């Protein structure tokens, strides 16, 4: 009888993976995965331990029952103990079966990661350890002109392309019966079905914008540091007096332009969030109110209208202003590079 009770439990438990590979040194970034693995191990081991304890308790209760002949009170206690053990075994066995049949994932602990948003890898030289300040300034000007600004402008153009795909049609109308009239309330929902792509582009722009701001601050620092050394460069004939004056002038001019470009870039990157403002799309309803007999004529929503609710024109206008700033900054970078060549 005991075997008939415990064999199904043991065979069921045997199908579950009890052993795990112990990790002496957790891998970097995988600590939570190891914790989940050990928790699952303890869960499975507990089932075995509880089953074994119940098995021995049942044997002891049976022995107590057999040796209690002639003592009604002890016999009743043994019967009660046996009944309680069977109920506990049944609850343990059925709970695991129910969990695995309703949703097997409940008994499988995993480290669920949030969906990743892709960010473009950026390979810019943010640490120029060249001891010569003139070389550092020249490298900085080249990087801003040839890499950082073109990449930033390209990202904004790609953002506009993605925002242009938004449409009020993708929003939903909310309708309600006001009096006897089926009346539209508002549009709700995201008109941009490619919102994830837009967010990815916004994040990339913020990243490039941070790099531009970093180089602006770096340029300003180099300008302050080199001011006291210009006479030395003139003395050692690395720069003429005119070149030294022009270099200082160009560095002073380029810093506020880079700051303005970074500011406009940040402003532009936030504009796609305005697509979510509900009053930019028009909601529509069809049917009648208080007509439960004919579903076809009941008050129900139609698609929203209003074309693209996003501020595309404003995005394009700021992009043109950024391109003008890019031209001015590039021109100054060329002048700086020419002096330092």
pLDDT tens for 90-145 read: 777 776 666 665 555 555 555 544 455 555 555 555 555 678 888 889 999 999 99
Query: Are 278 and 193 members of one domain?
Result: yes
> Among candidates 209, 201, 207, 124, which has minimal Cα distance to 161?
201
Q: At what angle do helices 31-66 and 72-102 cross, to 10 degrees?
A: 150
pLDDT of residue 24 exceeding 50, the answer is no
Whether 221 is in a domain gets the answer: yes
Q: Please report the pLDDT score of residue 132 as a whole number.
A: 86
pTM of the prediction?
0.60
> Which pLDDT score is estimated for 288?
81
Mean of pLDDT values over 264-279? 89
Per-residue pLDDT at 307 exceeds 70: yes
CA–CA dist 267, 264 (Å, integer): 5
Query: Which domain covers residue 16, as residue numbers?
Result: 2-107
Total structural domains in the chain? 2
Task: Tell me, rounded to whole angstroms, the distance of Cα 196 from its chain centroid.
Answer: 10
Answer whether residue 128 is part of any domain: no
Query: Does 200 share its domain with 333?
Result: yes
Q: DSSP class of residue 276? A: G
DSSP secondary structure code for residue 109 in this structure: -
Range with the lowest mean pLDDT among 17-26, 252-261, 264-273? Answer: 17-26
pLDDT of 323 over the 80 cut:
yes
63 and 194 part of one domain:
no
Q: Give the per-residue pLDDT at 125.
A: 56
DSSP letters for 221-257: HHHHHHHTTHHHHHHTTSS-HHHHHHHHHHHHHHHHH
pLDDT, the chain, mean: 79
The DSSP line for 136-182 is HHHHHHHHIIIIIHHHHHHHHHHHHHHHTT--GGGSEEEEEEETTEE
**Same-domain pairing of 56 and 176:** no
In a shared domain, residues 182 and 63:
no
């Amino acid at each position: 009888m005991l075997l008939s009770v415990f064999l199904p439990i043991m065979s069921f438990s045997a199908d579950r993976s009890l052993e795990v590979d112990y990790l002496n040194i957790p891998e970097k970034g995988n600590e939570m995965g190891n914790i989940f693995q050990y928790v699952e191990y303890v869960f499975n081991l507990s089932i075995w331990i509880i089953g074994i304890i119940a098995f021995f308790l049942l044997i002891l209760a049976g022995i107590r029952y057999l040796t209690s002949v002639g003592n009604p009170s002890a016999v009743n206690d043994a019967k009660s103990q046996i009944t309680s053990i069977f109920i506990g075994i049944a609850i343990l066995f059925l709970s695991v079966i129910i969990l695995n049949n309703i949703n097997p994932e409940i008994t499988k602990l995993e480290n669920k990661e949030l969906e990743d948003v892709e960010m473009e890898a950026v390979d810019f030289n943010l640490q120029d350890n060249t001891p010569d300040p003139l070389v550092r300034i020249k490298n900085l000007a080249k990087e801003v002109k040839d890499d950082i600004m073109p990449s930033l402008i390209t990202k904004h153009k790609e953002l506009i392309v993605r925002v242009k795909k938004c449409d009020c049609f993708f929003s939903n109308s909310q309708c309600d019966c006001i009096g006897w009239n089926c009346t539209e309330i508002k549009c709700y929902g995201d008109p941009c079905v490619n919102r994830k792509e837009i967010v990815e582009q916004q994040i990339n722009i913020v990243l490039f914008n941070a790099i531009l701001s970093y180089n602006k601050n770096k340029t300003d620092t180099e300008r302050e540091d080199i001011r006291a050394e210009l006479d030395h460069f003139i003395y050692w004939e690395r720069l003429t007096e005119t070149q030294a004056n022009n270099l200082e002038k160009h560095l002073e001019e380029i810093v506020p332009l880079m700051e303005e470009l970074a500011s406009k870039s940040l402003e532009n990157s936030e504009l796609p969030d305005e697509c979510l403002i509900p009053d930019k799309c028009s909601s529509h309803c069809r049917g009648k109110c208080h007509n439960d007999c004919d579903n076809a004529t009941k008050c129900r929503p139609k698609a929203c209208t209003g074309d693209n609710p996003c501020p595309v024109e404003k995005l394009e206008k700021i992009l043109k202003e950024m391109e003008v700033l890019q031209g001015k900054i590039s021109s100054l970078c060329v002048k700086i590079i020419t002096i330092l060549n």
